[in-house]
Amino acid sequence: MKQQVLILGAGFAGMWAALSAARLTDLHDRSDIEITVLAPQPELRIRPRFYEAGVESFAPPLLPLFAATGVKFITGSASEIDVANKQVWYHTAQEQLAAIHYDRLVLATGSHINPIFPGAKEHAFDVDQLESAARLEKHLNQLAEQPESDARNTVVVCGGGFTGIELATELPARLRAILGETTQARVIVADRSPVVGGHYSEELCDVIKQASDELGVEWMLNAEIASIDEHGVTFKNGDFIASHTVVMTMGVQASPLTGQIPATRDAQGRLHVDENLKVIGQEDIYATGDVAYARTDDKGNTALMTCQHAIMLGRFVGNNVAADIIGVAPHPYRQVNYVTCLDLGGFGAVYTEGWDQVVKSTRAEAKKIKVAITSELIYPPKADKAIAFAAADPLAPFV
Ligand SMILES: Cc1cc2nc3c(=O)[nH]c(=O)nc-3n(C[C@H](O)[C@H](O)[C@H](O)COP(=O)(O)OP(=O)(O)OC[C@H]3O[C@@H](n4cnc5c(N)ncnc54)[C@H](O)[C@@H]3O)c2cc1C
């Protein structure tokens, strides 16, 4: 019987894990190892673009790529990991409960936003998943049909992290296109931090401030949200902003499946993994992408919940899980380089290098880098075995 490597999730980490595992088994001519991906859809959802218009088109298909590389795909959603019996229970596309055995399991089920404020689940939007981002896009496009009011013309973005900033700076142009050039639309970023940009480097914060001022994006600082309803947002100090469009961007948590694996997790629910990305304390279970709490270097840096890290975590975990079965040396996960490229809407973008976020370029020059990253670099490789395997090599250069 074939040895089963089961990968849960077809996001950045899961897709690259599958390609990297298939690459190593191919290199060692091990047709007795089967690589299977189980996920709700055979597509790579490009979450970093979900703040843009046209969100439903950001989901390139994966079946041709998996067919070209010998990766098996099962449509399903995992509900239970039975660690003792090495099997996963899942719901099929037809909502039937089924089980699948594994010899090695790779958890790559990503993260999701956790709407913790009263009323957020019912009344707030988000750009976290394709369905919810599409719901926001539809709502924005229908705003012009509502009677003119402050609430119609105001969008409140809750959270001033990268996602909140990218969405907020994109919105003025989108709202002008929807509501007309003469409408006084407001975009307000509400953040609990006392400064714009929170904990980012001073240089980066300065660029974010400049872009916000130029685009007319307002910041409400020291803002503690109390609740959200159909009329707008109420803050703990009693302030209220009337808005029909409140968008949550904070409170991201690792997939709840992490809680089914007996192991240490961080505050966001990510599983602690060793340098080969095996869950600490587990023999056959690996974690990768947004569900993994992994060291990136020897200086104390750890992987962030970004696709920049998920891609490399995927390439390493796929290699290492296959290496474990084949009996060859794994490649310890290392990702020393770290860059940020933040879209700033009509202002352009800002590109920084290093963990201290040194600004290297801004405006149109940085925007070119941003477009290259989000519309090329992070997309799946061509459905061609040689091309895909070359890209899946964990030691191949990335950023
Ligand atoms: C709006 C937005 C902007 C972002 N911008 C950036 C950016 O500029 N740069 C950057 O580096 N990162 C950015 N990110 C973060 C980045 O998208 C994530 O870090 C990345 O998607 C994580 O990859 P992943 O493979 O771990 O998880 P995901 O990409 O979330 O993939 C998870 C996979 O698991 C599947 N899955 C979930 N539950 C189950 C289940 N029960 N059973 C089976 N399969 C399951 C999903 O369907 C999916 O296939 C952004 C995210 C958002 C939402």
Residue 198: its pLDDT value, please? Answer: 86
| Ligand 1, atom 31: closest residue by C-alpha | 11
Structure tokens at 47: 């979450």
pLDDT at 386: 98
Using the predicted structure, report yes or no on whether residue 399 has a pLDDT greater than 80: no
Q: How far is the CA of 34 from the centre of ligand 1 (A)?
A: 24
Q: How far, in Å, is the centroid of ligand 1 from the Cα of 109?
A: 8
> What is the tens place of the pLDDT at every residue in 75-129?
999 999 999 999 999 999 999 999 999 999 999 999 999 988 999 999 999 999 9
Spatial distance between the Cα atoms of 114 and 122, rounded to a whole number of angstroms: 13
Average pLDDT of the residues in 39-50 = 98
126 and 113 in contact (C-beta within 8 Å)? yes
Residue-wise pLDDT tens digits, 172-219: 999 999 999 999 999 999 999 999 998 899 999 999 999 999 999 999
Stretch 22-51: mean pLDDT:
98
Residue 366 has pLDDT above 90, yes or no: yes
Cβ neighbours around 268 below 10 Å, total: 16
Q: How many CA atoms lie within 13 A of 138 on its CB side?
A: 8
User: Positive or negative, the Cα torsion across 46, 48, 51, 52?
Assistant: negative
**What is 3-112+252-336's CATH superfamily?**
FAD/NAD(P)-binding domain (3.50.50.60)
The domain spans of the chain are 3-112+252-336, 115-248
Candidate from 126, 137, 290 with most ligand 1 atoms within 8 A of CB, to mutate: 290
CATH code linked to domain 115-248:
3.50.50.60
Q: What is the pLDDT of residue 338?
A: 96
User: Which residue of 163, 307, 370 sits with most ligand 1 atoms within 8 Å of its CB, as the best mutation to test the pocket?
Assistant: 307
Average pLDDT value for residue range 334-358: 97
Per-residue confidence band for 54, with pLDDT thresholds at 50, 70 and 90: very high
Q: From ligand 1's centre to the CA of 397, what distance in Å?
A: 22
> What atom of ligand 1 comes closest to residue 79's alpha carbon?
41
How far is ligand 1, taken at its centre, from the CA of residue 137, in Å? 19
29: Cβ contacts below 8 Å, ≥ 6 apart: none
For residue 291, the ligand 1 atom closest to its alpha carbon is 26
Quote the mean pLDDT of the chain. 97
Contact 17, 321 (CB under 8 A): yes
Protein residue with least CA distance to atom 24, ligand 1:
110
pLDDT at 359: 98
| pLDDT at res. 199 | 86
Query: Which residues surround ligand 1 with Cβ inside 6 Å?
Result: 8-14, 38-40, 47-48, 50-51, 77-78, 108-111, 127-128, 163, 255, 257, 289-290, 305-308, 310
Instruction: Evaluate whether 21 touches 35 at the Cβ level (below 8 Å).
Output: yes
Query: 292-332: per-residue pLDDT in tens?
Result: 999 999 999 999 999 999 999 999 999 999 999 999 999 99
